[in-house]
Amino acid sequence: MMSATAEASTTINVPVSADAHILSAYPTRNKGTKSYLEISNSPRTDTLLKFNVSGVGTGIVRSAKIRLVPAGSASVGGEFHSATSNNWSETLVTWANAPSASSTIIAKQGAITQGNPVFVDVTSAIQKDGTYSFRVLNTVKDNAPYDYYSRESSSQRAPVLILTVDSSTATPTPAPTASPTPVPVQSATPTPTPAPSPTPAPTPMYESCLTQSGPLVSINGPQSAAYRQTSLAASTKIDSRTATWNGVAWTPVRVGGGDHICSSGGIIQGSWNPYTTPWTTYHDTYAYEIYGNNMIVENMRVDDYGDSFMARDEITLGNNFTIRGNHVTHGHDDCVQDDGMKSGAILDNLFDGCYVFFSARGFGSGPSNVVRVENNLVRLEGTPTYYNGQASDPYDPTQYKHGGFWKIDEFDKAPKLSIHNNIFRADSDSHTWIPLMPDARSISSCSNNIIVWLGSGPFPEQVPACFTLTTDKSVWDNAVAKWKVNHSN
């Protein structure tokens, strides 16, 4: 809708109608439904944007700027070109069929900072109503990839074309999709009120799987080598309650074989220096790899690894996993990785420090699968080294960064989430595209969850109805104390 100003000009906001990034490394793969837009030089990854402009009429476009919200920080923010065609679809476009970039550079964006919107001047390309497509490149050799939020992320972070039009001769009919003022980066959040804590696990919610029938394997005391057994008999019980793996390997425990294997107890401790070890090193470490189907991993203590628990990506492995009663601290990547898109259950765990809580992206396809996330306590924790960067002073916690809770971006492939009776805590916003709140497209059912927000300012995302927002830290502290008492054995 148009609104006249003192200068007799009109502001028209045009939401992006389609956006996608395209990968030269995977020329036939579509990435149009992801919640971020990647731009990279090696391998080449470009971003496409499309806007349907109306409401200009016979007016004069004084300014046309694309507002983008960075999902990360980088020294450059892209080279903007008009695309040679508007004939592309968000859900079908690939590197192989995408329109090319015109030879003229419309604009170059300088350094970008996560969460701080940038406004790219494309006035030279837009002078009247019509459809306009842009292709964004990264031409800086060896520059790290960077991301902007896409329209799938949220309406507050989606790309917007902001037009300033001389309204003295502008068509008075408002644009169907225009909004009165430029879209804000963040929406107002109602003042949070202290919320009662749901009972995440008043007592351990299950009998140990060690009580099941089946062959028994005992692992005791300090271990000097990794335990990797992927051909165990069905229903094998692994009693590792006194076992410890301290700095043993990048993957100290890998278990699989027949169905219904039980793995109970033990301590897995990393030995990397968290202040200096690159995030890329942590990224390739996995404390526990689940190879078996219908497998239970319970009552373990994991500290200082990249991924704490990983269900294997292969289609025949790691299906219907159960991760319960475990205590994780200082996770430098995903506390639970389910990139094979498997069904599973994450129950009654204390994740007291995750860079990212749950990941389901990149491999496989399981849109009919469901992961139950119930009665957990999950806290995000910033780390000195992180994706695409590190703190200039590794001993200054104010420089540490973390991602979000839900690393899911291919909603047509990822499993659905059943989220009930959990408490989540975040002390700052995600420094990546990974959101704090689950996307509605991921949720199969959801109730009685709490998000404890201890960051500065209002909570940065919309809060689903199945979550209660509070700034009362005692909600978290009391729940953690109760969990530890209930799991003291």
Joined tokens for residue 364: 């496989």
DSSP per-residue letters across 379-413: EE--BSEETTEE-SSTT-GGG-B---SEE---TTT
The answer to whether the predicted template modeling score (pTM) of the entire model surpasses 0.85 is no
Q: What is the maximum alpha-carbon separation in the chain?
A: 84
Cβ(134)–Cβ(82) under 8 Å? yes
Position 108 scores a pLDDT of: 92
Position 8 scores a pLDDT of: 57
Q: Pairing relation of β-strands 267-269 and 244-246?
A: parallel
Say which amino acid occupies 431: H
Joined tokens for residue 232: 């165990």
Tens of pLDDT, residues 420-457: 999 999 999 999 989 999 999 999 999 999 999 999 99
Position 10 scores a pLDDT of: 84
Low-confidence ranges of the chain (pLDDT < 50): 1-7, 169-203
Joined tokens for residue 453: 């927000």
Position 205 scores a pLDDT of: 55
Position 200 scores a pLDDT of: 35
Position 388 scores a pLDDT of: 86
Cβ(214)–Cβ(292) under 8 Å? no
DSSP 42: T
Position 305 scores a pLDDT of: 95
Position 196 scores a pLDDT of: 39
